Amino acid sequence: MTNFSSSSNWQDSERSQKRIKQRYRAEMRFKIYGLTAVCIALVMLGILLSSIISKGYPAFTSTELALEIHFDQKILDPENKNDYSTLYSANYAKLLRQSLFTMFPEVAGRKDKKSLLKLISSTARFELREMVLKNRNIIGTKQTVWLTADSDVDLFHKNQTHRDVNENKRRLSNKQLKWINTLYTKNAIRGVFNTSFFTNSDSREPEVAGIGGALMGSLFTLIITLVLVFPIGVATAIYLEEFAPKNRLTDFIEVNINNLAAVPSIVFGLLGLAIFIQVFHLPRSAPIVGGLTLMLMTLPIIIIATRAALSAVPPSIREAAYGVGASKIQVVTHHVLPLGLPGILTGTIVGMAQALGETAPLLMIGMVAFIVDTPGGPFDAATALPVQIFLWADSPERGFIEKTSAAIMVLLAFLITMNAIAIYLRQKFEIRW
């Protein structure tokens, strides 16, 4: 009987050991699966970011050509009026033609001359106009000036257009490549930091297109969104969490707030189109409408985040305040709200970061328009950075490929910065109970 019992205990112990080893192996496999999934995600993220960066970083430089321009007074101001309107409407394109034809005297024929003029950007004449309007003393003199090159020349200078490709498959002809080589030998071509990418607005010419107008449009839109959504969202959350009675009405409101947080963003765009534009007749494509629309979309997120931050404050804080005679308002404003502020700020920043990256609602209210001028206020026509990326991605010009990737890099930088600030505030001011 004793031997049987010992044998049974030994078998049970052996089976237990096997089960323990199986659990350990299962746990190890689960860890391996998790690490594999994380590694795959990191590899995919690395591929995505490397693709965006490799295509976008050349947009932060631009190519310029050095031309000796004779600011001929007979062309710019033949009557010597020296007034703004005459200089503004002068034929600056003729100055460019004279300079290029003087630099390449061997070029003859209408077709070759037209190809030569394509080396310089079509906006170079506006650059000359700005020079003359800023300094009228250069009229009648010869100056060596650096002007923006055409997009095809810019791509070639950045080694994105290969010389050994068949002439029929590239934008630059063999003659144009020969002229570019001549510019290299004369040190008349260079790459510089592309400040116009951050200051200019949209353009049909990729070499001068920039995100300045889109950045201002996004700035006005986010300011309007923040000014409206923060006080309304926080006040609503405080009322629902601290003052509202628990009944069917408040339950209905809470359910709808939670549902609105999951509604597709394009629905809010339709709501903004129907209410703010068609009912209140606010200007289409204006940041004021974009801010109001994004406010509707961000409001449920702010309310939910604020309520979670307020509910995380321990009840003992409230009870201690009531114990020393504080009123309900004093408890909320002096104790609960300050302690929940880190979570409120974190939720607000995350909500604003989501609003910054939204495109669909802004498309519905018309902020997809081609805007050349930088908006001066919330009622001016404008576009936003995500919409600008959408427009450039749909453009057939090859020069807009790098512009699109560079704009994505800027947008990602803003989003990462906003999320980093949210994490910092959370860790710095969070109180662990």
Q: Provide the 3-class DSSP secondary structure of residue 321.
A: helix
Identify the H or E element spanning 238.
helix 212-238
How is the chain split into domains, by residue range?
60-194, 212-429
Q: Please report how many Cα atoms fall inside a 13 Å half-sphere around the Cα of residue 247, on the Cβ side.
A: 4
CA angle at 115 for the pair 111 and 120, rounded to the nearest 5°: 150
Phi, psi of 374 (to 5 degrees): -75, 130
The sign of the dihedral angle between the CA atoms of 188, 194, 199, 202 is positive
Per-residue pLDDT for the chain (433 aa), expressed as one digit of tens each? Answer: 455 555 666 666 777 788 888 888 889 999 999 999 999 999 999 999 999 999 899 999 999 999 999 999 999 988 888 888 999 999 999 999 999 999 999 988 889 999 999 999 999 999 999 999 999 899 999 999 999 999 999 998 888 667 777 777 788 888 999 999 999 999 999 999 999 999 999 988 999 999 999 999 999 999 999 999 999 999 999 999 989 888 888 889 989 998 988 889 999 999 999 999 999 999 988 999 999 999 999 999 999 999 999 998 888 888 898 888 888 899 998 889 988 888 898 889 989 998 998 888 998 888 888 888 888 889 998 999 999 999 998 888 888 999 999 999 999 999 999 888 888 877 777 666 5
Q: Report the predicted TM-score, pTM, of the whole model to 2 decimal places.
A: 0.86
CATH of range 212-429; options 1.10.3720.10, 2.40.30.10, 3.40.140.10, 3.40.50.10140: 1.10.3720.10
Q: What are the contacts of 77-81 at 24+ separation with CB within 8 A?
A: 77/139
